[in-house]
Chain A
Amino acid sequence: MPRSLSRPPQVDTVGRTVKIVSSAALPVVEGDLPKALLGFVSVLRDHCAFDVQTRCALSFIMTAGKFPALVARALPPESGEFETYSPSERKMTSAQFLMRIAANARLRQCSCDVTLTDFLARDQVLDLLSELAGALPVSGRGVSLMLFVDSAILFDASEPVRGRLSLQRFPRGKRHCGAGVLCEFCADSKSGPVAKKVLRELREAFGVEWKKPCEVFDPDRADRPSASEASVIERCIEEAFARAAADLDRAQAALTGIPLLYSSMSAFGKRVRDVQSGIREPVDFVRELRQLIQTNFPDYASCSKQRSAPTFRKRLADHIEGLLFVERLYEQGLGKCFTLQYQVDFPGTRFAGENVNVSSRSRSLFSLFHKGWMPPKWAYSTSEELAEVLGGCRDVLRMALPALETRLKELLSPIPGALPPDMQMRGRLTAREAYEQALWIAKAWAPDARFAGLHSGGLHAVTYDLARGVDLDGRLQSHGSWRVRFESTRLNSDLLVDVPHSGLIRWNSMRKLFPMLCAPPS
């Protein structure tokens, strides 16, 4: 359908609600496990109601069999998962476990996993936990315990609020015992009067300080976009990346001469070499990065939810924001590596949060340079190297951001209800037709490129059932694409060419991870 004839998706901010979460640590009595468990039970008794959604899951490992036996006796015979740590033993029901205990009371270690609310009412659950607390040793020696109560109703609030409460106790580690509560409720905004009132009521009831609330994506909300609406937005974002990449190709922008920018595997190698050579220095990456963005890209405001994932947000147009996401990579604990992603969000609309997908490779900023499949990473070990890295990062952003922002505004403002009419339409291609379209890109990439396989693909949005890229005649569906793979011996690299039903052809190359696999087709 031509874009102009379609009804644009609603940008409705009136009466919209978002899901708000906040959390708090609950006080626990350290060094006295029975008191800690009893305190937790009294929180459940005084502040929580249960309904059919509520789940109370209990897991523990103990060196004495009598405590799991206490739980087993309270459950129906066929319930629960009990285990003793004898190599020949399988998981047992409560009845089987009680028989095992009767045969051998001196079991060295056993465990229990059970969702108590599957079998017991609220008061029975609380009574059983109190009884267990009364039987446990004060020292808690040899006891690992995890107790989770999901989707409990926190009835002290005047609005409907659900909570997740947890108590965990481990025999070793810095923190033996901890308890917490996380609340979830709907409000107009995280800073509006409803959110403030709910958190005040919870603070007064629980007597603990709640963390600053934040808005979260709610997959169950009633006004979620339909699969076809989400598909249009997703494909427009992908098209914007593809068009920006083509713009950068025309401008001959390239990643040559960017210091300390490594291929995915080489970054890890650099860090290993540096650590083994004793090159170590504490560096405040986040502070330096924020300073870089503030100085060079002042429109991008820091909006990180946590220091481990610095994020910067810029308003591109009404209800459209670009999110520059710095993905820090820990490289098996060696750290000091990162790469860049770019996400798009639609705040104040029912599309908010729908298209932010930090695990999507197509959102790598390096896909603009045809390196998005296994994106390059910066790696550094000293403050001098970090300064060099951030200089290169600035140069990459100066090339990439203007091109991408322009194309995102062109394709997403106003929020589209259909694909743009100027989008290339390739139609219901067969695999062979897609191969033929991909071949000229492969030959331009490397004269010795040879076909190494292909695969059907579609829109892999996690929550939408649109992954069938081809129909049963072997032809592309409207949201689908063929991914054709070539390999080059000379470059020791793979090339992945995505040939979509509609939109620009995208391609990414990467160094080979494995030896050559495929014989040339006969």
Chain B
Amino acid sequence: MQKGAQTIQALAPDHEWATWECGLGEERKLAATVWTIHASFRPAVRRPDFRDAHVYLDPVDGTVVHSAVYER
């Protein structure tokens, strides 16, 4: 969880987290069972920002399998 949170913080620095959730399960687009963390960000004032981000981690060794941020 901490590693995933750090990954998201690196992808979207200076973003305030509004809410987040996590889970372990099959992710079809990766064809693998992964630990997923999803964070949504509060809207930034007067600058372009990201809406939310996903990070997918290997549940065995915690390596980042995939990550993505999405623009608002």
Measured CB to CB, the residues of A under 8 A from B are 431, 452-457, 465, 467-470, 472-474, 485, 517-519, 521-522
Q: Are B1 and A518 in contact (CB under 8 A)?
A: no
One of B21, B24, B26 near A517 (C-beta < 8 A): B26
Which chain A residues border B21 with CB–CB below 8 Å?
455-457, 467-470
Q: How far is the CB of B7 from chain A (nearest CB, A)?
A: 12
One of A473, A474, A518 near B25 (C-beta < 8 A): A518
User: Of residues B18, B23, B24, which shows the largest number of chain A Cβ atoms within 10 Å of its Cβ?
Assistant: B24
Number of B residues with CB within 8 Å of any CB on chain A:
16
Q: How far is the CB of B40 from chain A (nearest CB, A)?
A: 9
Q: What are 22 A-to-B residue pairs whose CB atoms are below 8 Å?
A: A452-B25, A452-B26, A453-B23, A453-B24, A453-B25, A453-B33, A454-B23, A455-B21, A455-B22, A455-B25, A456-B21, A465-B18, A467-B19, A467-B21, A472-B1, A472-B2, A473-B1, A474-B1, A485-B25, A518-B26, A518-B33, A522-B60
One of B1, B2, B24 near A454 (C-beta < 8 A): B24
Q: Are A455 and B23 in contact (CB under 8 A)?
A: yes
Q: Are A456 and B26 in contact (CB under 8 A)?
A: no
Which chain B residues border A453 with CB–CB below 8 Å?
23-26, 33
One of A456, A469, A519 near B33 (C-beta < 8 A): A519
Q: What is the bound-complex CA distance between A457 and B21, given in angstroms?
A: 7
Which chain A residues border B11 with CB–CB below 8 Å?
none
Using A454-B24, A485-B25 as known contacts, say yes or no to A472 and B5 having CB atoms under 8 A apart.
Answer: yes
Q: Are B2 and A473 in contact (CB under 8 A)?
A: yes
- Which 5 pairs of residues, A with B, have the shortest CB-CB distance? A453-B25, A474-B1, A455-B23, A518-B26, A517-B26
Q: How far is the CB of A110 from chain B (nearest CB, A)?
A: 30
Q: What is the bound-complex CA distance between A469 and B18, given in angstroms?
A: 13
Using A473-B1, A474-B2 as known contacts, say yes or no to A521 and B19 having CB atoms under 8 A apart.
Answer: no
Q: What is the bound-complex CA distance between A251 and B25, given in angstroms?
A: 36
Q: Which chain B residue shows the least CB distance to A517?
A: B26
Which chain B residues border A519 with CB–CB below 8 Å?
26, 33
Judge if B20 is at the interface, Cβ distance under 8 Å: yes
Judge if B13 is at the interface, Cβ distance under 8 Å: no
Q: How far is the CB of B61 from chain A (nearest CB, A)?
A: 11
One of B22, B28, B33 near A470 (C-beta < 8 A): B22
Q: How far is the CB of A432 from chain B (nearest CB, A)?
A: 10
Q: How far is the CB of B22 from chain A (nearest CB, A)?
A: 5
Q: How far is the CB of B46 from chain A (nearest CB, A)?
A: 19
Q: What is the bound-complex CA distance between A467 and B40, given in angstroms?
A: 11
Which chain B residues border A467 with CB–CB below 8 Å?
19, 21
